[in-house]
Structure 1
């Protein structure tokens, strides 16, 4: 994103990254692994959906 497209200031991005890293080290390993699994499943669904052509999609509209 460019600055004119609503990108947040760099400090906001850095603080967010630091917050995420603190959470990773503060949470139990099982919680981190469960979160990573949910993220991976979501990414797989997103990639599968993005790979479909518009004619292949079945939307509930």
Structure 2
């Protein structure tokens, strides 16, 4: 089927919109951020930056 879509024999009929679960997941992060204090968001961001830039020693 992928080959037929790629060659233009048939048209792709897959729905390009997000699934219901994906839509709910994206709303959850926004809601969580809206309920957090600026101080707590800053703490989380600092922790993430530290984790990203810390070099692991084996």
TM-score normalized by structure 2? 0.50
Aligned length: 40
- Which of these two proteins has the greater Rg computed from alpha carbons? 2
Match of 2:45 among 36, 39, 56: 36
CA RMSD of aligned residues (A): 2.1
Match of 1:16 among 12, 25, 44: 25
Structure whose residues are more often helix by fraction:
1
Q: Which runs of 4+ in 1 moved over 6 A?
A: none
